[in-house]
Homo-oligomer: A and B are copies of this chain.
């Protein structure tokens, strides 16, 4: 199968109606009368409206007639009407803190029936929970529906993947010994941002972020220690890059292990082994496979080669309206891979005194294969950059 075409346009009303349809189906199955969303990401998924949470709550409700209602601050009404694509009834309230009787929860509680079964998100905060009437049932319906991507979402993820591939290309072009972290960050994120606004002039910057960083060899064994902005690139390697973006609401990432001018001898074996682990992950990456099993087998290969102590994370995670979400290719995540899931493949090892080793790509699962959506060199030779 060929890589699907990139899509750069906002979702249609039909696309959002289909997402809602999938949620409604699961609501039937779980016997829920209402479903309440508070998580901005879920609200974005269902409406195309993005916002930050301050003291004024935005709450999206699928009511017992299966219609969308949004309880939102008065001052955001124009913003919601501008961006929301879904059919929804807007119920505005006076700003919180508000005079007695005019607060958000008075309007919120009016929508929900007292004896109803109310589905709520695992992330629902206590202060919303406490104001929610009815029999509340924590439910992962939204997480569930978001696992499988529509044709439209795949098109957006293809586009997001192109953007991060472009940012990554910039990093490999410019990286040299003594280059400053901050300069690489600036160049790569600018390259992504200008392409985003070229492709999507009306991109929603509340749903857009770009990030790029390189861990030079002296710290690449610590993948979660964010490099200092004045960190400098070094001779040799392994350097480990991260380029990630949420592009007008859709996420992707690409990461590489690379070397400047030369490859230290002690780095050759771990590079080879992590490539074997990665190849194994791709061999196993088939619709129908148990995701926990893929992770287990990849880790077992690393273990057998003596690198078990240097594993810090799982083999992969999902993408969608964020660049980091379910599903997880992880021990304990006993779930089958399905067509139209999009995941990262990124086994990694982190060896003090040698460095970190990890490639990551954004990958689409199809009926009978997979398609890498991101593009960057993969082999040691191509990733040994000559910079003299």
B129 touches A123 (CB 8 A): no
* A75-B122 contact given A97-B331, A230-B201, CB 8 Å threshold: no
Residues of chain B within 8 A (CB-CB) of A197 are 182, 229-230
Please tell me if the beta carbons of B100 and A332 are within 8 angstroms of each other in the complex: yes
A312, B74: Cβ atoms closer than 8 Å = yes
**B206 with A226: CB separation less than 8 A:** yes
- B99→A331 contact, CB < 8 A: yes
Residues on B with C-beta less than 8 A from A313 are 75, 95
Given contacts A97-B331, A103-B332, contact A226 B205 (CB under 8 A): yes
Closest to A317 in B: B55
A122 to B225, CA, bound (A): 30
Task: Decide if A324 is an interface residue (CB 8 Å cutoff).
Answer: yes
Q: Does any Cβ of B come within 8 Å of A191's Cβ?
A: no
Residue count of chain A within 8 Å CB distance of chain B: 55
> Cα distance A228–B332 when bound, in Å?
44
- Any B CB within 8 A of the CB of A1: no
CB contacts (< 8 Å) of A201 on chain B: these are 228-230
Taking a contact as CB atoms under 8 Å apart, the answer to whether B229 and A205 are in contact is: yes
Contact B330 A78 (CB under 8 A): no
What's the minimum C-beta distance from A197 to chain B, rounded to whole angstroms? 6
Interface residue from B76, B182, B331 paired with A224 (Cβ < 8 Å): B76
Q: Could you list which residues of chain A lie within 8 angstroms of chain B, going by C-beta atoms? A: 54-55, 74-76, 78-79, 82, 95-100, 103, 120-127, 129-130, 138, 182, 197, 201-206, 222-226, 228-230, 292, 312-314, 317, 324-326, 328, 330-333
Q: Are B127 and A125 in contact (CB under 8 A)?
A: no
12 A-B residue contacts at CB 8 Å? A54-B324, A55-B328, A74-B312, A76-B224, A78-B225, A96-B332, A97-B331, A99-B332, A120-B126, A121-B126, A130-B138, A201-B228
